[in-house]
Amino acid sequence: MTPASAPAARTPLNRARVVAEALATADEAGLESLSMRSLADRLGVVPMALYKHVSNKEELLDAMVDAVIREIQPRDVADDWKEAAREQVMAARRTMLQHPWAWRAIETREAPSPAALDRMEAMIGTLRSGGLSAPLVHHVMHTLGSRLWGFSQEVFATGPQPTDPQAAQEAMEMMAARWPSVLESAMSTLHQQDTAVGPGCDDETEFTFALDLILDAAERLHTQGWTPGPRSDGATRVGAP
Amino acid sequence: MTPASAPAARTPLNRARVVAEALATADEAGLESLSMRSLADRLGVVPMALYKHVSNKEELLDAMVDAVIREIQPRDVADDWKEAAREQVMAARRTMLQHPWAWRAIETREAPSPAALDRMEAMIGTLRSGGLSAPLVHHVMHTLGSRLWGFSQEVFATGPQPTDPQAAQEAMEMMAARWPSVLESAMSTLHQQDTAVGPGCDDETEFTFALDLILDAAERLHTQGWTPGPRSDGATRVGAP
DNA sequence: CGCGAAAGGTGTACGCCGTACACCCATGAC
DNA sequence: GTCATGGGTGTACGGCGTACACCTTTCGCG
């Protein structure tokens, strides 16, 4: 059989195609439905073929995370360091919103990939060029934590509310009886008239609130000439306002 | 054979023992080595026996998380709301340090358990009784995020350094070449003389820095009479200092 | 006292998963 | 023309969670 008559002489696999298809699978069906077997199926190939291009699933996840982090593209903004830092984090958030599975994958990586280090280099550079001292920058990076990567790590996402209105009513009454403050707090942002669409609080608002709070605090410490205190007192307290 | 001569008439399984042994396994060997089969082995029982006490592994994890959260026992402290809130978070941190696997389990829960709601109720109550408005408290809780539960969610933990001094030297030089600011930032806290034991930065210091920064910022916003802004401007900016 | 139901432990089996290992085939260098 | 090498294949193993049918022990109740 000549190659021409062969069934559409398929383009050979390569690492880039494997990673790209893995990304597409995760985007479409979630990370939990990405298995070496399903990915091989999708590529029209036998599972073991993948191992000629990635050494194991962990390495595939490394590559996926690397690719996602590389997608983060901050816009050029004013030379104000705080605005620049904010934009970098918001750019990360834009990317993460497009890959809802990404934060789970990122969290399980053991070491930062080169792309991650590039991102950190840019962020740290921005803060340093704003005049913040190296130790302060170090602390601020830790304080940002996962927010640096655009996800706020809400520990208990408020799951889907019961659709049955009566069940919802009963759940509400139970909350009111046992956890009144939690309920009040949850409702407090719902009562604003110009709220975001849908129930629950506005993720965007919460994210930017926290981000701005941290950046503003950093700026304040910087202008006040903060220096790291000795550790013998047990903690480096920020100090009363 | 009479029961007395039977091989040590074993105490029957119950849910509490299953959960307790699961906790012990995770504490000793890590969460990844907790399987229904290994847990059954440890209890001297066949795997399916566990399913008479927990309906599946997810529910077992729910119970484990619930138990850990119940261990959080804040000390009584001064009536200053900030100090009280700080102690609650530090108590959570104390507990989490004793169960290094717990944060991974907590993160994968879908809804807050009753114990978690109790914890949140206490924290929110503390903040509210300090006079903070309900919307401010809501935002502060989101800003705390996973820190409320005592873990700071460092995304890329700096893995173990190479033990070979020459390899370490080379890694250092590579960092210096490609990621000088990252390196400088990492080193900035190492150079303090009275540093914590071991290499890397002091987790405790970073944690308390971030916590105090957030609580101080909350206090400042409160005393300044912060109120939620309209959302039409895209974000509820905290406002310049 | 006897019996029947329930509670709790067992054995087998299924369908997933990641991946080790041996194999084979096409390509291209010499 | 030979032969190494890169890349796809087939089979198989050991692990996982858990469905389902089964058996035993216990205990309430007539």
- A237 with B109: Cβ contact below 8 A: no
- Residue B7: band (very low, low, confident or very high) from pLDDT cuts 50, 70, 90: very low
Residue B166: burial class (beta carbons within 10 Å; 0-12, 13-18, 19+):
exposed
Contacts of residue A179 in chain B, CB cutoff 8 Å?
Answer: 117-118, 120-121
Residues of A whose CB is below 8 A from B181: 121, 124-125, 128
Closest in A146, A185, A205 to B155, CB measured:
A146
Nucleotides of D strand lying within 7 Å of any protein CB atom: 6-11, 15-21, 26
Mutation choice for A interface testing from B83, B136, B138, B172 by most A CBs within 10 A: B138
**CA within 13 Å, CB half, B179:** 22
* pLDDT given for residue B10 in this prediction: 60
- pLDDT tier at B29 (50, 70, 90 boundaries)? very high
pLDDT number for residue B87: 98
- A231 CB neighbours in chain B (<8 A) are 192, 194-196, 202, 205
Cβ neighbourhood burial of B2 (10 Å; 0-12, 13-18, 19+): exposed
Q: Check if the beta carbon of residue A93 is closer than 8 Å to that of residue A215.
A: no
Residues of B within 8 A of A148 (CB-CB) are: 155
Give B105 CA → D8 C1' in Å.
39
Asked if pLDDT for residue B184 goes beyond 60, the answer is yes
Stated as kind and residue range, the H or E segment containing A33 is none
**Nucleotide nearest B50 (Cα, C1'):** C9
CA at A150, C1' at D19: how many angstroms apart? Answer: 41
Interface with chain B: mutation pick from A143, A195, A197, A211, highest number of B CBs within 10 Å: A143
B86 close to B212: Cβ distance less than 8 angstroms: yes
pLDDT tier at B63, thresholds 50, 70, 90: very high
Alpha helix stretches (DSSP H) within chain A? 15-29, 36-42, 57-71, 81-98, 102-107, 114-129, 134-144, 165-178, 180-188, 203-223
CB-based contacts of A46, cutoff 8 Å, min separation 6: A40
How much is the pLDDT for A232?
A: 42
In this prediction, residue B4 has a pLDDT band, given cuts at 50, 70 and 90, of very low
CA closest to A218 among chain B residues: B213
pLDDT tens for each residue of B212-227:
999 999 999 999 999 9
Q: Which of the four pLDDT bands, split at 50, 70 and 90, describes residue B72?
A: very high
Tell me the per-residue pLDDT of B84-138, one tens digit each, with 9 for 90 and over. Answer: 999 999 999 999 999 999 999 999 999 999 999 999 999 999 999 999 999 999 9
Residue B200, pLDDT above cutoff 70: no
Q: Are A148 and B188 in contact (CB under 8 A)?
A: no
DSSP string, A138-159: HHHHHHHGGGGGT----SS---
| pLDDT at residue B169 greater than cutoff 80 | yes
B198 or A97, greater pLDDT:
A97
Q: For chain A, give every domain's residue range.
A: 55-154+202-228
pLDDT at residue number B97: 95
pLDDT digits (tens, 9 = 90+) for B35-53: 999 999 999 999 999 999 9
Nearest nucleotide from residue A13 CA, by C1' atom: D7
Chain B closest-CA separation from residue A15 CA (Å): 25
Nucleotide lying nearest to B53, CA to C1' measure? C8
What class is the B55-152+202-227 domain? mainly alpha
pLDDT-flagged residues of chain A (< 70): 1-10, 157-162, 190-200, 230-241
Cβ pair B209:A238 closer than 8 A: yes
Spatial separation of the C-alpha atoms in residues B74 and A58, rounded to whole Å: 39
Which CATH number applies to A55-154+202-228? 1.10.357.10
Whole-number Å distance between alpha carbons of A22 and B202: 37
Q: How far apart are CA B116 and CA B105, in angstroms?
A: 13
| Longest distance between any two alpha carbons in chain B, whole Å | 82
Judged by CB atoms closer than 8 Å, whether chains meet at A107 and B112 is answered as: no
Facing residue for B216 by CB, picked from A124, A231, A241: A241
